[in-house]
């Protein structure tokens, strides 16, 4: 089943080049409604103003990490059910387990391509 191009996606990463890469991959996949934030705190601020269908976040950021963002979202009644894909360069088992326990929807290890991203989005957004 095709993913709806109307999905509203928030990309969270403190590295602008990575935001650009993910935006380009999402555009290749047909997604147009993509916003970005440079850390977890900024992302939470944006989520107060707009309802997102999916959050794609880096793990390592300052001052608020992607892991802290995930925990904040899962503790918030309005954000609890938002699909969350964690992106990281580290594939440490401890990190994967911690993210799963905190309620991550899926996990992607860098580097990744459009097909990997598509399959993760389909898995968490019911595509």
10-residue averages of pLDDT along the chain (127 residues): 81 96 96 96 96 96 95 97 93 88 95 95 87
Residue 4 located in a structural domain: no
Residue 28 located in a structural domain: yes
Residue 33 located in a structural domain: yes
Residue 3 located in a structural domain: no
Q: How far apart are CA 77 and CA 81, in angstroms?
A: 8
Output the pLDDT for position 127: 59
User: Within 13 Å of residue 47, how many CA atoms lie on the same side as its CB?
Assistant: 30
Residue 14 located in a structural domain: yes
Domain total in the chain = 1
Q: How far apart are CA 120 and CA 86, in angstroms?
A: 10
What CATH number did the domain enclosing 73 receive? 3.40.50.2300
Output the pLDDT for position 91: 76
Residue 43 located in a structural domain: yes
Those residues whose C-beta lies under 8 Å from the C-beta of residue 80, and which sit 6 or more positions away, are: 73, 74, 103
Output the pLDDT for position 92: 82
Residue 83's domain spans which residues? 9-112
């Amino acid at each position: 089943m095709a993913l709806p191009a109307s999905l509203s996606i928030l990309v969270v990463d403190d590295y602008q080049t990575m935001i650009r890469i993910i935006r380009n991959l999402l555009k290749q996949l047909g997604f147009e409604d993509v916003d970005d934030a440079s850390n977890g705190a900024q992302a939470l601020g944006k989520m107060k103003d707009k309802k997102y269908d999916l959050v794609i976040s880096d793990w390592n950021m300052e001052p608020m990490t992607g892991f802290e963002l995930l925990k904040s979202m899962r503790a918030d009644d309005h954000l609890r059910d938002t699909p969350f894909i964690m992106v990281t360069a580290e594939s440490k088992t401890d990190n994967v387990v911690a993210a799963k326990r905190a309620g991550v929807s899926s996990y992607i290890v860098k580097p990744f391509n459009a097909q990997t991203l598509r399959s993760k989005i389909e898995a968490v957004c019911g595509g």
